[in-house]
Amino acid sequence: MSAQHPRTIELEVATPGVDAQGRPVRVPVPAPAGLPAEPDLGGEHLLVNLGPQHPATHGVLRLVVELDGETVIRVIPHIGYLHSGFEKLGEYRHYNQIIPLTDRTDYLSPMANNVCLAMAVEQLMGITITPRCTVLRVIACEMSRIISHLVWLGTTSIDLGAFTPFLWAFQERERIYNLQEQWTGARLTTSLTRVGGMLADIPNGFVENLREFTRTFPKTLEEIDRVLTRNAVWAGRTQGIGVMTAEEAINYSLSGPMLRASGVPWDLRKDQPYLGYETYDFEVPVGEHGDVFDRYLVRLEECHQANRILAQALDRLPDGPINVDDPRVILPPKSRAMSDMEAMIYHFKQVMEGVKAPVGETYCGIENPKGELGYYFVSDGTAKPVRWRIRPPSFINLAAISKMAEGHLLSDLIAINASVDIVMGEIDR
Amino acid sequence: MKRVLETKEIAGESPNWLLTRFDDLVNWARANSLWPMPFGTACCAIEFMATAASRYDLARFGMERQSFSPRQADVLICAGRLPFKLAPVIRRIYDQMPQPKWVISMGACASSGGIFDNYAMVQGIDTIVPVDVYVPGCPPRPEGLLYGILLLHKKIKGESLVIPGLRDEQSLGPTGLRLPPREIDELSEPFGNSVHQTRSA
Amino acid sequence: MNPSAEGLRATFGDAIGRVVEARGETTVFVAAARLLDIMRWLQTAPDQLYNYLVDVTAVEYRDRERPLEVVYQLRSLSRRANLRVKVELDPRGELAVDSVTPLWAGANWLEREVYDMFGIVFAGHPDLRRILMWETYAEGHPLRKDFPLRGRFSRSEQVRQALNANPEANYSLEELSIAEAYGEIPSDMRDRLRRGERGDVGGVE
Closest to A387 measured CA to CA, from A105, A118, A92: A92
With beta carbons under 8 A apart, name residues in chain B contacting C164. Answer: 176
With beta carbons under 8 A apart, name residues in chain B contacting A53. Answer: 39, 68, 89, 93
Looking at chain A, which subunits does it touch, using at least 3 CB pairs closer than 8 Å as the criterion?
B, C
Give the span between the Cα atoms of A257 and A145, in whole angstroms.
11
- Asked if residue C118 belongs to a domain, the reply is yes
Which of A49, A50, A53 is the best substitution to test chain B (most B C-beta atoms within 10 A)? Answer: A53
Which of A119, A387, A403 is the best substitution to test chain C (most C C-beta atoms within 10 A)? Answer: A387
Under 8 Å between Cβ of A429 and A422: no
Whether A54 and chain B come into contact, CB under 8 Å, resolves to yes
**Which residues of C make CB contacts under 8 Å with B?**
62, 133-134, 139, 142, 145, 147-151, 154-165
DSSP conformation letters of A325-341: S-TTTSPPPHHHHHH-H
Report DSSP state, residue A324.
-
Give the span between the Cα atoms of B73 and B99, in whole angstroms.
9
Cα–Cα–Cα angle for A105, A109, A111, rounded to 5 degrees: 95
Looking at chain C, which subunits does it touch, using at least 3 CB pairs closer than 8 Å as the criterion?
A, B
With beta carbons under 8 A apart, name residues in chain C contacting A40. Answer: 183
pLDDT at position C39 is 93
Structural domains in chain B, CATH included, are 35-164+176-187 (3.40.50.12280)
Q: Kind of pairing, strands B75-79 and B102-106?
A: parallel
Give the span between the Cα atoms of A196 and A119, in whole angstroms.
8
Range list of H helices, chain B: 17-32, 43-52, 87-96, 108-112, 142-157, 181-188
A285 Cβ neighbours under 8 A, 6+ residues apart? A260, A297, A298, A301, A302, A305
Least Cα separation, residue B120 to chain A (angstroms): 6
Instruction: Give the containing element (helix H, strand E) for C112.
Output: helix C107-118
Report field, pTM of the whole predicted structure over 0.90 = no
Give the span between the Cα atoms of A296 and A315, in whole angstroms.
29
**ipTM passes above 0.85:** yes
Single-letter residue type at A225: D
Residue from the list B84, B118, B182 with its beta carbon closest to the beta carbon of C162: B84
CB proximity under 8 Å: B 140-169 to C: none
For A358-394, the three-class secondary structure string (H helix, E strand, C coil) is CCEEEEEEEEECCEEEEEEEEECCCCCCCEEEEECHH
DSSP conformation letters of B120-137: TB-S-GGGTS--SEEE-S
The pairs formed by A165-170 with CB atoms below 8 angstroms and a separation of 24 or more are: A165/A224, A165/A227, A165/A228, A166/B53, A167/B53, A167/B54, A168/A220, A168/A223, A168/A224, A169/A220, A169/A224, A170/B49, A170/B50, A170/B53, A170/B54, A170/B55
With beta carbons under 8 A apart, name residues in chain A contacting B118. Answer: 84-85, 88-89
Give the span between the Cα atoms of B170 and B178, in whole angstroms.
8
Could you tell me which chain C residue has the CA closest to the CA of B90?
Answer: C163
Would you call A423 exposed, middle or buried from its count of C-beta atoms within 10 A (0-12, 13-18, 19+)? buried
Could you tell me which chain A residue has the CA closest to the CA of B123?
Answer: A84
Closest to A153 measured CA to CA, from A141, A165, A164: A165
- Asked if residue A206 belongs to a domain, the reply is yes
Residue from the list C53, C80, C176 with its beta carbon closest to the beta carbon of A271: C80
Q: Helix axis angle, C155-163 relative to B87-96, nearest 10°?
A: 60
Q: What is the CATH number of the domain that holds A101?
A: 1.10.645.10
Tell whether the torsion through CA atoms of C160, C164, C170 and C176 is positive or negative: negative
Asked if residue C116 has pLDDT above 50, the reply is: yes
Which of C129, C130, C147, C163 is the best substitution to test chain B (most B C-beta atoms within 10 A)? Answer: C163
- Asked if residue C9 belongs to a domain, the reply is yes
Chain pair B-C, CB pairs under 8 angstroms:
65
Least Cα separation, residue B115 to chain C (angstroms): 12
With beta carbons under 8 A apart, name residues in chain B contacting C147. Answer: 119
- Asked if residue C160 belongs to a domain, the reply is no
Single-letter residue type at A104: R
* Mean pLDDT score across all residues of chain C: 86
Least Cα separation, residue A427 to chain C (angstroms): 9
- Asked if residue A201 belongs to a domain, the reply is yes
The alpha carbon of A3 is separated from its chain's Cα centroid by a whole number of angstroms, namely 31
User: Are A93 and B197 an interchain contact pair (Cβ–Cβ within 8 Å)?
Assistant: yes
Give the span between the Cα atoms of A429 and B20, in whole angstroms.
50
- Asked if residue C175 belongs to a domain, the reply is no
With beta carbons under 8 A apart, name residues in chain C contacting B198. Answer: 149-150
User: Are A16 and C198 an interchain contact pair (Cβ–Cβ within 8 Å)?
Assistant: yes
Give the model's confidence band at B113: pLDDT under 50 very low, under 70 low, under 90 confident, else very high.
Answer: confident
Expressed as residue numbers, the domain containing C44 is 3-148
Whether B193 and chain A come into contact, CB under 8 Å, resolves to no
> Is cis: bond before B100, omega within 30 of 0?
yes
Tell whether the torsion through CA atoms of A254, A255, A256 and A260 is positive or negative: positive
- Asked if residue A238 belongs to a domain, the reply is yes
- Asked if residue A63 belongs to a domain, the reply is no
* Mean pLDDT score across all residues of chain A: 87
Closest to A371 measured CA to CA, from A258, A265, A244: A258
Encode burial over C9-40: b for 16+ CB neighbours within 10 A, e otherwise: eeebeebbeebbeebebbbbbbeeebbbebbe
Q: Helix axis angle, A410-419 relative to A131-159, nearest 10°?
A: 170
Could you tell me which chain C residue has the CA closest to the CA of B199?
Answer: C149
User: Are B43 and A188 an interchain contact pair (Cβ–Cβ within 8 Å)?
Assistant: yes
Single-letter residue type at A213: F
The alpha carbon of A166 is separated from its chain's Cα centroid by a whole number of angstroms, namely 19
CB proximity under 8 Å: B 18-77 to C: none
Give the model's confidence band at C186: pLDDT under 50 very low, under 70 low, under 90 confident, else very high.
Answer: confident
- Asked if residue C68 belongs to a domain, the reply is yes
Give the span between the Cα atoms of C54 and B99, in whole angstroms.
50
Could you tell me which chain A residue has the CA closest to the CA of C181?
Answer: A39
Across B94-120, average pLDDT: 91
- Asked if residue C201 belongs to a domain, the reply is no
- Asked if residue C174 belongs to a domain, the reply is no
C202 Cβ neighbours under 8 A, 6+ residues apart? none
Whether B181 and chain C come into contact, CB under 8 Å, resolves to yes
User: Are C23 and A27 an interchain contact pair (Cβ–Cβ within 8 Å)?
Assistant: no
Q: Provide the domain count of chain C.
A: 1
Which of A65, A272, A363 is the best substitution to test chain C (most C C-beta atoms within 10 A)? Answer: A363
Give the span between the Cα atoms of C28 and C9, in whole angstroms.
10
Chain pair A-B, CB pairs under 8 angstroms:
103
Whether B29 and chain A come into contact, CB under 8 Å, resolves to no
Whether B196 and chain A come into contact, CB under 8 Å, resolves to no
Give the span between the Cα atoms of A150 and B39, in whole angstroms.
22
Q: What is the CATH number of the domain that holds C18?
A: 3.30.460.80
Least Cα separation, residue C204 to chain A (angstroms): 19
With beta carbons under 8 A apart, name residues in chain A contacting C80. Answer: 271-272
C52 Cβ neighbours under 8 A, 6+ residues apart? A250, A253, C74, C75, C76, C77, C104
- Asked if residue A81 belongs to a domain, the reply is no
A331 Cβ neighbours under 8 A, 6+ residues apart? A337, A346, A347, A350, A351
Would you call A412 exposed, middle or buried from its count of C-beta atoms within 10 A (0-12, 13-18, 19+)? buried
Least Cα separation, residue A169 to chain C (angstroms): 32
Whether A98 and chain B come into contact, CB under 8 Å, resolves to no
Would you call C187 exposed, middle or buried from its count of C-beta atoms within 10 A (0-12, 13-18, 19+)? exposed
Whether B72 and chain A come into contact, CB under 8 Å, resolves to no
Least Cα separation, residue C132 to chain B (angstroms): 9
User: Are A387 and C60 an interchain contact pair (Cβ–Cβ within 8 Å)?
Assistant: yes
Expressed as residue numbers, the domain containing A315 is 96-325+355-424
User: Are A13 and C181 an interchain contact pair (Cβ–Cβ within 8 Å)?
Assistant: no
Under 8 Å between Cβ of A161 and A227: no
Could you tell me which chain B residue has the CA closest to the CA of C163?
Answer: B88
User: Are A92 and B49 an interchain contact pair (Cβ–Cβ within 8 Å)?
Assistant: no
pLDDT at position A38 is 47
Q: Provide the domain count of chain A.
A: 1
pLDDT at position B135 is 95
- Backbone torsions φ then ψ of A367, nearest 5 degrees: -90, 90
Q: What is the pLDDT along chain A (429 residues), one digit of tens a residue?
A: 334 444 444 444 434 444 444 444 444 455 666 655 545 444 577 888 887 888 877 889 999 898 888 888 889 899 999 999 999 999 999 999 999 999 999 999 999 999 999 999 999 999 999 999 999 999 999 999 999 999 999 999 999 988 899 999 999 999 999 999 999 999 999 999 999 999 999 999 999 999 999 999 999 999 999 999 999 999 999 998 889 999 999 999 999 999 999 999 999 999 999 999 999 999 999 999 999 999 999 999 999 999 999 999 999 999 999 999 888 889 888 888 888 899 899 998 888 888 899 999 999 999 999 999 999 999 999 999 999 999 999 999 999 998 999 889 998 999 999 999 999 999 998
Under 8 Å between Cβ of C143 and A88: yes
Could you tell me which chain C residue has the CA closest to the CA of A428?
Answer: C132
3-class secondary structure, C47? coil
With beta carbons under 8 A apart, name residues in chain C contacting A24. Answer: 128-130, 135, 172-173
pLDDT of B9-26, one tens digit each? 655 566 788 888 999 999
Give the model's confidence band at C192: pLDDT under 50 very low, under 70 low, under 90 confident, else very high.
Answer: confident
Cα–Cα–Cα angle for B156, B162, B164, rounded to 5 degrees: 90
Q: Kind of pairing, strands C81-89 and C96-98?
A: unpaired
pLDDT at position A40 is 46
A185 Cβ neighbours under 8 A, 6+ residues apart? none
